[in-house]
Every structure is written in C-alpha cells, then in structure tokens.
Amino acid sequence: MNADLVIANPFSFQLEVESSTANPKGFRCVISVEYEVYRRRLNLLISDNWIEESVFDEFVQQVENLKNGSSVEAVLCDSDRELFYRINDEWIQLEVNKLTMGDDLAIKLAVESTPELISLTLEALRDFPKWW
C-alpha cells in the first residue's frame, strides 16, 4: 500500500487515495489498519471508501481544536457513515459497521488517547497531500 496519510500511533491507520476526480461523494480511498497487542496482530483492509473533502477538512480542524482544548471530539467518517475514526481526550477509536445483504460486520478498536498522540495525529493530517 502506498499510503497518502499515515497515522502510526496508537495503531497504524493508513489511507491511500484511489480516485480524486470530482465526485459529490468526495475522494475514494483504501484504509489499512494494523494493531498489535500481546503478540497478536489485527490487520484490516477496508476498500471502496468515499470521504468528502469538506468532512476531511472539518476533521483536521476538530483535531486542531482538540489539541488546543477548544473541542471535545474529532470525527472522520466516510460518505456512507459506515467507518468512523474518533478522537477525544480519553480514546482514539476506529469503528467499522458494514451492513450489506445478509452480512453484518461490526469492528471497534479503542485505545487510550494522550496529548502526544493527538499532536502526532494532527501532524500526519497536515502532511496529507490535499489537491482541493
């Protein structure tokens, strides 16, 4: 995976843009998540996600506000509202809820948040190569 956005901690969250053409749903991307704890590893590859540019921009602003203490939570979600990346003072979490014809998938990964992790997340978001 040739990631455009890499947030290394507390778990690896990588986002690769697949399509950046003008689309009301935003940009299409693949998200890869890796988490290792007690010699066990979770690898998750989530394809065909659409994230609106304005939602991404708002998330970056929310993380900045969270770092400065003027916000309590930052949330990035896909256009279908099936994938959520949330950050607050207590937790950093990824939640995936895919509901399709007869198949339901629900995954929630939550780890403790720290001011340092919030700062590292903000740095990674600022390094994202925006084209809009």
Question: Which of 27-41, 57-71, 89-103 is the least confident region?
Answer: 89-103
Residue 111 included in any domain: yes
Tokens, residue 87: 């950050």
> What does the alpha-carbon distance between residue 69 and residue 77 come to, in Å, rounded to a whole number?
22
pLDDT of the residue at 101: 64
Residue 33: count other Cβ atoms within 10 Å of its Cβ. 20
Residue 49: count other Cβ atoms within 10 Å of its Cβ. 21
> Residue 110 sits in which domain range?
5-126
Residue 48: count other Cβ atoms within 10 Å of its Cβ. 10
Residue 132 included in any domain: no
Q: Are 43 and 95 in contact (CB under 8 A)?
A: no
The confidence band for 100, taking pLDDT boundaries of 50, 70 and 90, is: low
Tokens, residue 109: 């990964």
Residue 51 included in any domain: yes
The confidence band for 20, taking pLDDT boundaries of 50, 70 and 90, is: confident
Residue 47's contacts (CB-CB under 8 Å, 6 or more residues apart) are: 30
Residue 13, CB-side half-sphere exposure with 13 Å CA sphere: 23
Output the pTM of the full model.
0.91
Tell me: cis bond preceding 10? Omega within 30 of 0 counts: yes
Residue 131 included in any domain: no
Is 58 a residue whose pLDDT tops 90? yes
Number of domains comprising the chain: 1
Residue 113 included in any domain: yes
Residue 60 included in any domain: yes
Hey, CA dihedral for 61, 9, 130, 96, is it positive or negative? Answer: negative
